[in-house]
Amino acid sequence: MSDYSATLDTLKGLVPEELLNPRVGIICGSGLSGLPASLKQSVLVSYDQLPGFVQSTVPGHKSSLAFGLMGSGAGVPVVAMLGRFHPYEGHKLSSVVYPVRVMAKLGVKDIIITNAAGALNPELVVGTIVVVHDHIALPNLTGMNPLLGPQTDLSLPRFLPLSNTYSRLLRKLVFQAAHDLSIERDALAEGTYAWVSGPTYETPAEGRFLRAAGADVVGMSTVPEVLAAREEGMNVLVLSLVTNAVVIPSGYKSVRDEFEAEIAGTLTNPGVDDVVSHEEVLSLGRLKGDLMKSLVEKVLEFIPSDA
Ligand SMILES: O=P(O)(O)O[C@H]1O[C@H](CO)[C@@H](O)[C@H]1O
Ligand SMILES: Nc1nc2[nH]cnc2c(=O)[nH]1
């Protein structure tokens, strides 16, 4: 899908002109669709009205774009995806990144991408917001890259460098925002996001493998959007909400040891295999949604209009 004119024409018919040139794009992660809840002059457009858009089928994601003014004072014009598309839903990578390219065509210069993620770094407690500064994308390295294929827009780079993917300026603004909001230091961290295809969560060994490779958090989204946004020349900020622990510090507990302790009568602490669920992921989104929202609103106040 590379004909954006039908999508843009439809938007022109549905969204007032003054909201049609958003400066900032926002993508809401699992359980975080309330991020733009306080938009002023909000206009919602459902994805099924938009040519080229597919549907978000995952609980915690809504199939609508929200246009409006976000943050204090007059507010910053934004466009927000209230739900995203994941490859594991069966969507093609080109469909997954289509809305990002539409945002670029609407004039978006800065994009704030949020997600829910599992912690690989045992120092990251559940509820922490990680300011992502790098990524490891096993799918990209093995041929699942949204930029693969013939170059349809020759104005975009063929070989995109990724050494400067995550805007230093925008990352610093998050810490400035947290400082202004008196958010406690431990509520935020910096780290590397590992992208996996999902929809299965990691086995403990896969978690240890990704940790050993240098990743701090893991999720099933974001990187395709980041790549398209960078190809389109946007400045990218990614915030990951840690919703669960993948790598458990105590590690694997041997069942042989447990059995032997049991027959010796010395077993005090039997092992349990922790299981993550999407409900748990969503409940963390509900718990930390307001914090994420105030952080994003504050960052918007600080983003220079010519960034
Ligand atoms: O990345 P987002 O969309 O926030 O969602 C994360 O949460 C879901 C799993 O619970 C997966 O989709 C994973 O990627
Ligand atoms: N892959 C992956 N995605 C997640 N999204 C939220 N938690 C997780 C997780 O533990 N693993």
Is any atom of ligand 1 closer than 6 Å to the C-beta of 278?
yes
Task: Map out the domains of the chain as residue ranges.
Answer: 5-302
**Which ligand sits closest to the CA of 29?**
1
Answer yes or no: are the C-beta atoms of 106 and 79 closer than 8 Å. Answer: yes
Give catalytic status of residue 86 as yes or no. yes
- Phi-psi domain of 219 (left: phi exceeds 0; alpha: psi -120 through 50; beta: other): beta
ipTM value, please give it. 0.99
Mutate to test the pocket of ligand 2, among 132, 246, 288 (most ligand atoms within 8 A of CB): 246
> What is the atom index within ligand 2 of the atom nearest the CA of 194?
1
Residues 290 and 241: beta-carbon distance below 8 Å? no
For residue 80 the two structure tokens come to 């927000």
Six-digit token string for 19: 């909201």
Is 246 strand, coil or helix? coil
**Whole-number Å distance between alpha carbons of 288 and 160:** 34
Q: Is the peptide bond before 199 cis (omega within 30 degrees of 0)?
A: yes
pTM: 0.95
Print pLDDT tens along the chain (307 aa).
Answer: 457 999 999 999 999 999 999 999 999 999 899 998 889 999 999 999 999 999 999 998 899 999 999 998 889 999 999 999 999 999 999 999 999 999 999 999 999 999 999 999 999 999 999 999 999 999 999 889 999 998 888 998 999 999 999 999 999 999 999 999 999 999 999 999 999 999 999 999 999 999 999 999 999 999 999 999 999 999 999 999 999 999 877 777 889 999 999 999 999 888 888 889 999 999 999 999 999 999 999 999 999 886 5
Topology at the third CATH level for domain 5-302: Rossmann fold (3.40.50)
Q: Which residue from 129, 243, 278, 288 has its CB within 8 A of the most atoms of ligand 2, so it is best to mutate?
A: 243
Which one from 4, 42, 145, 278 is the annotated catalytic residue? Answer: 278
40 forms beta bridges with 69
**CB neighbourhood size of 306 (10 A):** 5
**Entry field: residues in the chain:** 307
Whether the CB-CB separation of 135 and 223 falls below 8 Å is answered with: yes
Sign of torsion, CA 25 157 226 65?
A: positive
How far is the centre of ligand 1, averaged over its atoms, from the C-alpha of 262 (Å)?
39
With a 6 A CB cut-off, is 29 part of the ligand 1 pocket? yes
Alpha-carbon span 50 to 198, nearest angstrom? 27
Cα separation of 211 and 121, whole Å? 7
In the residue annotation, 64 being an active-site residue is answered as: no
